[in-house]
Amino acid sequence: MIEPTYLTHQFLIAMPTLADPNFFQTVTYISEHNANGALGLVINRPLNLTLAQLLEHLQLAADSPELATIPVYHGGPVQPEQGFVLHCPVGQWGATLRVTDDIGITTSRDILQAVACGEGPQQLLVALGYAGWGPGQLEREIVENAWLSVAANPDIIFQTPSEQRWLSAAALLGIDLTLLSSDAGHA
């Protein structure tokens, strides 16, 4: 029997033909993928909300003016009221899913309190909501050519400007998405 291939710590790159408005031209970081399904965070859809504004809404006083320049992302259509902090290093937080030895996703408030005090992780991406797939759903979508996948590169998550992440993630595969047409052709 062939063991299934799971995509934990992979980028899921939307093909130009993927018209679903939730995922059009997105890069999703897959944080968990197993027989029960998959969970990920879209990493290139900044909201009109900064980290400083989010902290203020949560009544956490922020020390650093640079927090006003850090965007909060739309992590996906599921539970948009739930916050997720994708970060490096993993650290010790109340509720963290350890994705790799270096990267974790935390949902507990303690990490945001630390960020507000200037004591948070060195690199982070804050998202509201997540993307989820039921058992076998993501595998079917990949077979239907909706997605490309490639090993995740933390530099794209934490260093690359969000508007460049879709093309940069595809470039890891040697693919220029601007050369792929969303129109079906006939020879």
- Establish if 16 belongs to a structural domain: yes
For the cut 50, the answer to whether the pLDDT of residue 187 exceeds it is no
The CATH number that applies at residue 109 is 3.40.1740.10
pLDDT of residue 40: 97
pLDDT tens for each residue of 154-178: 999 999 999 999 999 999 999 999 8
Question: pTM, whole model, 2 decimals?
Answer: 0.92
Please tell me whether the peptide bond between 71 and the residue prior to it is cis, using omega within 30 degrees of 0: no
- Establish if 186 belongs to a structural domain: no
Closest alpha carbon to 30 in 13, 51, 15, 52: 13
What mean pLDDT is predicted for residues 41-62? Answer: 94
- Domain range enclosing 42: 10-179
What mean pLDDT is predicted for residues 83-111? Answer: 94
- Establish if 121 belongs to a structural domain: yes
Contacts of 104 (CB under 8 A, 6+ apart): 86, 87, 88, 89, 90, 91, 93, 96, 97, 98
pLDDT of residue 185: 45
Please tell me the total count of domains within the chain.
Answer: 1
- Establish if 136 belongs to a structural domain: yes
Tokens matching residue 183: 């129109």
pLDDT of residue 63: 78
Contact 76, 130 (CB under 8 A): yes
- Establish if 1 belongs to a structural domain: no
pLDDT tens for each residue of 3-48: 567 899 999 999 998 989 999 999 999 999 999 999 999 999 999 9
- Establish if 5 belongs to a structural domain: no
- Establish if 184 belongs to a structural domain: no
- Establish if 41 belongs to a structural domain: yes
